[in-house]
Structure formats: C-alpha cells, structure tokens
Amino acid sequence: MEYKIGVWDGMPVGIGYFSVSFGFGALAASHGISAWDAAVISFSNLTSAGQFAGLTAITAGASLWELILTQLVINSRYALMSLSLGQKMGSRIGTLPRLIIAFFNTDEIFALAMARQKPLTVPYLLGLGLTPMIGWTGGTLTGALASSALPLMIRTALGVALYGMFIAIVIPQARAQKSILAITLISLVLSCLFYWIPALNGISSSLSVILCTVISAAIGALLFPIDDEENAQEALA
C-alpha cells in the first residue's frame, strides 16, 4: 500500500521529467551521442543541470577530472538534501535502503518526501522515486530516438529546451529575491568574461562553469549572509 502511494505521489513528477528529458535526449543525439548512451546517462545520473553540464563537457572534449569536478560542484546540493532527508527517516531505515533512496533523490522528490506528514517508509520512498526515474530515462530515450525523424526546425527548438527550463526556474526566484537576482547577474557577467576576454576564453567550458559557480556562490555568501535566526525561522516554517 505504501509503495502504491509513493508511485502515485511521484506520477506528476515523472510526467514532468518525461517532457524535459525529451529535450535532453534530442540535444544529446544532435551532438552525436547514441540514443542508448543518452538513456544510460539519464538512468545513472537523474540530474538535469548536471547532465546538461556533463554533455557540454563531453562534447567539448574535457578531461575526466574536469567532468568529475563539474558534477561534484553542480550536484553538491544533493548531499545536503540527502542529509536532511536522512534525519527525517530516523533510525528505522537501514544503510542499504538509504543508499538506494539517495540515488533517487532529486529536488522534486526531496520536496515531496519532506512535505509528507506520515512517517517515511522504504516502500513509499522507493515508489516515490520509481516513476520519476522511469519518466526521466524514458523521455531521454524517446527524445534521442525521435530526433532523427523530426524536422530540423523541431530539433533546433528542442536543442534550447533545457535553456528554457533553466530560465523558467531562475526567473521566478530572481523576481522574488533580490539576492538571487544579483547572484544570477554575477554569474552571467562571469560567463561573458570567460567567453570574450582573450586571457580567459582559453579555459575549457566545463572548467569555466565550475569557476563561475564557485565564484558567484562565494560572492553571494559574502554579500547576502543569512542570519542564524532567519535559518531557524525557515526551519520552523
């Protein structure tokens, strides 16, 4: 019963993941990656931003260490979310189930799990992660297979689908909080500097992503620190 409830709760996320990963699959195919390889990437990663950055690094011929470091920086938030989710699980859930659940853990799954009023169980969490994983992997495979049969105009449009998704995520948050808007603009300026300045444009695209992320985050932490009292109020909310 708990497993079915988890599958049902994760169904909307799985449907949304399918539509977004369809664009990723088409983008991967346009860069010469086979449909099955793209599906394996989605199945083993389950991270939109990380996969996009990883695809950029792969197509740019980045080294393995650059690829690893890129994923470490971009996906570091999952470690924090897993720690928070692990505290809510309590001691009744063992190590092996925690590792499996951590593999499924994404922003949306984390939000659904943390918002659940009833105690978290292994069957519920496994069901919650199943449909998003199927949707994300299936969408990638479908997009990669369909890209060869689609007109060039449609394939070009799908190639910018992930950019549109990121913009749709950032803009509402930037409008609500000036700190996020400032950090976004800082990242944009840094990215332009790495692209246009001759002394910096020799840096690989994957390494420039890492540097822009770390520098903008550090500047944001210095300019917009969060007080302990504010953290406590957010936790209570």
SS (H, E, C) the chain: CHHHHHHHHHHHHHHHHHHHHHHHHHHHHHCCCCHHHHHHHHHHHCCHHHHHHHHHHHHCCCCHHHHHHHHHHHCHHHHHHHHHHHHHHCCCCCHHHHHHHHHHCCHHHHHHHHHCCCCCCHHHHHHHHHHHHHHHHHHHHHHHHHHCCCCHHHHHHHHCHHHHHHHHHHHHHHHHCHHHHHHHHHHHHHHHHHHHCCCCCCCCHHHHHHHHHHHHHHHHHHHCCCCHHHHHHHHHC
Q: Are residues 157 and 65 in the same domain?
A: yes
**Is 94 inside a domain boundary?**
yes
**Is 61 inside a domain boundary?**
yes
**Is 233 inside a domain boundary?**
yes
Q: Are residues 142 and 190 in the same domain?
A: no
**Is 190 inside a domain boundary?**
yes
Last residue of a domain, one of 161, 191, 223: 161
Q: Are residues 64 and 20 in the same domain?
A: yes
Domain containing residue 22:
2-161
pLDDT by residue for the chain (237 residues), tens digit each?
Answer: 888 998 998 898 888 888 888 888 888 888 888 899 999 999 988 887 788 878 878 887 878 888 888 888 778 778 878 887 888 887 778 888 888 888 888 888 888 888 888 888 888 989 998 888 999 999 999 988 887 777 777 766 666 665 666 676 678 778 888 888 898 899 889 989 988 988 887 777 667 877 887 888 889 888 888 665 554 444 444
**Is 36 inside a domain boundary?**
yes
Q: Are residues 155 and 233 in the same domain?
A: no
Last residue of a domain, one of 104, 133, 161: 161
Q: Are residues 185 and 88 in the same domain?
A: no
Q: Are residues 132 and 210 in the same domain?
A: no
Q: Are residues 187 and 137 in the same domain?
A: no
Model pLDDT, residue 234: 46
Q: Are residues 35 and 103 in the same domain?
A: yes
Q: Are residues 141 and 187 in the same domain?
A: no
**Is 172 inside a domain boundary?**
no
Work out how many domains the chain is built from and give that number.
2
Q: Are residues 189 and 157 in the same domain?
A: no
Last residue of a domain, one of 161, 185, 200: 161
**Is 167 inside a domain boundary?**
no
Q: Are residues 25 and 87 in the same domain?
A: yes
Q: Are residues 153 and 55 in the same domain?
A: yes
Model pLDDT, residue 235: 43
pTM of the full predicted structure? 0.68
**Is 147 inside a domain boundary?**
yes
